[in-house]
C-alpha cells in the first residue's frame, strides 16, 4: 500500500494542475473574444468545447456545459433555459467542468458586454463574495456544508444581491468525483449537509471542495457566476 501522505500530495497536485489548465482555457476565451454579441449560447459552448480539445486534448466534461446570457443567467444549474443570442449590452457566464487526464476541474466566470454599471458591479462582486466565503471556511475548522451555504447567502444579501443557487459547491476529485451513497446531500455545500466539510471520503482520503457563487438581481433580470477550488491552492 502506498504512503497516504504521498498519495494525497499527488491528488492535490493533480487537482491544482486541472484548475491551472481551466484558467488557461478561460484566459483564451477572453483573448479570442468568444463571448461576443450576435452568437448563441450554444455556439459559444461548442466553441469553448473545441478550444479545450485544441489546447489540452479535453474530450470529456463531467457536467453539462453551461453558457448563459441575459435573463438566462437567473436560472440555477438544474434548469435548461432555451438557447439565447448574446446582445451588445449583455451579461453572460460560462460554467465548464473539463476532465484533464482523469482529474476534474470546475470553473466559472462572468463577462459583461457594454458599459452597464449594474452588470459591471455584479461581475465585480462575485470574486469578492467568493473570497469572503473562503475566508469563512478557513476560519471555521468544523464548518458544515449547510453553514457555509448560509454564510454565502448572508454575504450576498449584505452586498445587495440575491443568492441564486440551490447549492454553493460540491466535492471534486478524480473523475467521477466522490458521491456518498445513500446521503448525496453531504457531497454538496447546501442545506441539509450537516457533517464537517473537513473529513475523509469513503476511501479514507481528505475531501476537496469547489465553492460556487451565483448572484442575481431579479428586478434587472441579470445574474452572474463564479467558481473554483475552495480548500487548496490559495495559501
Phi-psi region of 175 (alpha: psi -120 to 50; beta: other; left: phi over 0): beta
Integer Cα distance of 134 and 48 in angstroms: 28
Integer Cα distance of 26 and 45 in angstroms: 12
List the Cα angle 204/207/211 in 5-degree steps.
Answer: 170
* CATH class held by domain 4-229: alpha beta
Integer Cα distance of 82 and 79 in angstroms: 10
- What are the helix (H) ranges across the chain? 4-31, 41-56, 117-139, 145-158
Domain ranges of the chain: 4-229
| 235 residues of the chain, pLDDT tens digit each | 344 566 999 999 999 999 999 999 999 999 999 999 999 999 999 999 999 999 999 988 878 899 999 999 999 988 999 999 999 999 999 999 888 888 888 999 999 999 999 999 999 999 999 999 999 999 999 999 999 999 999 999 999 999 999 999 999 887 665 554 545 899 999 999 999 999 998 889 999 999 999 999 999 999 999 999 999 987 5
* Contacts of 177-182 spanning 24+ positions with Cβ under 8 A: 177/62, 177/104, 178/202, 178/203, 178/207
Q: What pLDDT, on a 0 to 100 scale, did the predictor assign at position 62?
A: 78
Q: Are strands 162-163 and 222-229 parallel, antiparallel or unpaired?
A: unpaired
Residue 58: exposure state from Cβ atoms within 10 A (0-12, 13-18, ≥19): buried
Closest CA to 156 of 168, 144, 143: 168
Structure-block grid coordinates of residue 53: 480539445
Q: What pLDDT, on a 0 to 100 scale, did the predictor assign at position 235?
A: 56
* Bond prior to 110 in cis (omega within 30° of 0): no
Integer Cα distance of 54 and 220 in angstroms: 37
Integer Cα distance of 184 and 3 in angstroms: 29
Amino acid at each position: 500500500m502506498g504512503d497516504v501522505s504521498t498519495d494525497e500530495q499527488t491528488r492535490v497536485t493533480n487537482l491544482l494542475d486541472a484548475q491551472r489548465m481551466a484558467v488557461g482555457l478561460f484566459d483564451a476565451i477572453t483573448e479570442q473574444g468568444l463571448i461576443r454579441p450576435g452568437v448563441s449560447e450554444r455556439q459559444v459552448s461548442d466553441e469553448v468545447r473545441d478550444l479545450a480539445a485544441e489546447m489540452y486534448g479535453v474530450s470529456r466534461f463531467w457536467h453539462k456545459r453551461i453558457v448563459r446570457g441575459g435573463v438566462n443567467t437567473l436560472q440555477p444549474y438544474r434548469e435548461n433555459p432555451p438557447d439565447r443570442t448574446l446582445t451588445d449590452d449583455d451579461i453572460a457566464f460560462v460554467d465548464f467542468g473539463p476532465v484533464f487526464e482523469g482529474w476534474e476541474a470546475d470553473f466559472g466566470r462572468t463577462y459583461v458586454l457594454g458599459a452597464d454599471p449594474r452588470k459591471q458591479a455584479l461581475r465585480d462582486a462575485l470574486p469578492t463574495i467568493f473570497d469572503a466565503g473562503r475566508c469563512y471556511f478557513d476560519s471555521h475548522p468544523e464548518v458544515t456544508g449547510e453553514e457555509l451555504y448560509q454564510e454565502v447567502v448572508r454575504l450576498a444579501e449584505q452586498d445587495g444581491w440575491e443568492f441564486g443557487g440551490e447549492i454553493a459547491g460540491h466535492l471534486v476529485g478524480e473523475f467521477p468525483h466522490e458521491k456518498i451513497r445513500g446521503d448525496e446531500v453531504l457531497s454538496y455545500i447546501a442545506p441539509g449537509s450537516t457533517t464537517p466539510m473537513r473529513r475523509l471520503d469513503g476511501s479514507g482520503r481528505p475531501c476537496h471542495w469547489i465553492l460556487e457563487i451565483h448572484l442575481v438581481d431579479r428586478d434587472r433580470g441579470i445574474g452572474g457566476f463564479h467558481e473554483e477550488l475552495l480548500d487548496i491552492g490559495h495559501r
